């Protein structure tokens, strides 16, 4: 559904998702916020980065039980890892020392997406380190750059150039399930 939302409505969905993510995180809003953070993995929609950072750092999640906080925080980190925005560099570099491997795993690709090829020195350092999580993911990001250069798929399933516009069209499998929505909400 998030890919359908991104392909069919793009930035038109932004206001609704921002509104959902601005609400206090509670058990009753959890499923909606999870869906909104999933859709935010498509930069084309344009969910506000400050909201994603609030979820990724846990500021908006204090009133939730630990398990639900971790799910939303992980989804927010995944969404941020698809943002080709150099201003996120410090965020990713701080995250690499987080005690939780679940969160650290997003650092190499988040940094690669944010910076592109200028992340190579940081990725090299991570791939030489002792943290197996960072080492594995940084090595994957470096391989992607080595194989594809500027077209490296480091922003989810898209390159840095493609990320703001991905997906461009609705896949046939999604279209058949979403045609009704397109008729009702053109």
Coil vs helix vs strand at 158: strand
Band the pLDDT of 1: cuts 50, 70, 90.
low
pLDDT at position 122: 97
Q: What is the pTM of this model?
A: 0.88
Please report the pLDDT score of residue 180 as a whole number.
73
Quote the crossing angle between the two packed helices 132-148 and 107-115, to the nearest 10°.
Answer: 30
Q: What was the pLDDT predicted at 156? A: 85
In this predicted structure, what is the pLDDT of residue 162?
A: 84
Element holding 47 (H helix, E strand):
none
Is the pLDDT at 182 greater than 90? The verdict is no
Q: Specify whether the CB–CB gap between 178 and 8 falls below 8 A.
A: yes
Residues 47 and 16: their CA atoms lie apart, in Å, by 9
In angstroms, the CA 56 to CA 78 distance is 9
Q: Determine how many CB atoms are found less than 10 A away from the CB of residue 24.
A: 12
pLDDT digits (tens, 9 = 90+) for 139-176: 999 999 999 998 899 998 888 888 777 777 777 877 77
């Amino acid at each position: 559904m998030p890919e359908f939302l991104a392909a069919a409505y793009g930035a038109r969905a932004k206001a609704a998702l921002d509104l959902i993510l601005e609400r206090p995180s509670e058990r009753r809003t959890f499923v909606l916020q999870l869906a909104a953070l999933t859709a935010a993995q498509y930069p084309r929609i344009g969910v506000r980065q400050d909201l994603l950072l609030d979820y990724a750092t846990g500021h908006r999640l204090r009133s939730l039980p630990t398990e639900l906080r971790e799910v939303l925080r992980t989804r927010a980190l995944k969404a941020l890892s698809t943002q080709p925005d150099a201003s996120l560099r410090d965020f990713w570099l701080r995250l690499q020392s987080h005690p939780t491997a679940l969160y650290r795993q997003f650092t190499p690709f988040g940094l690669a997406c944010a910076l592109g090829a200028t992340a190579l020195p940081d990725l090299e350092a991570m791939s030489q380190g002792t943290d197996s999580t960072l080492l594995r993911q940084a090595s994957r990001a470096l391989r992607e750059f080595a194989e594809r250069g500027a077209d490296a798929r480091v922003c989810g399933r898209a390159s840095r150039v493609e990320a703001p516009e991905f997906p461009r069209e609705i896949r046939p499998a999604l279209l058949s399930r979403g045609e009704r929505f397109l008729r009702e909400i053109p």
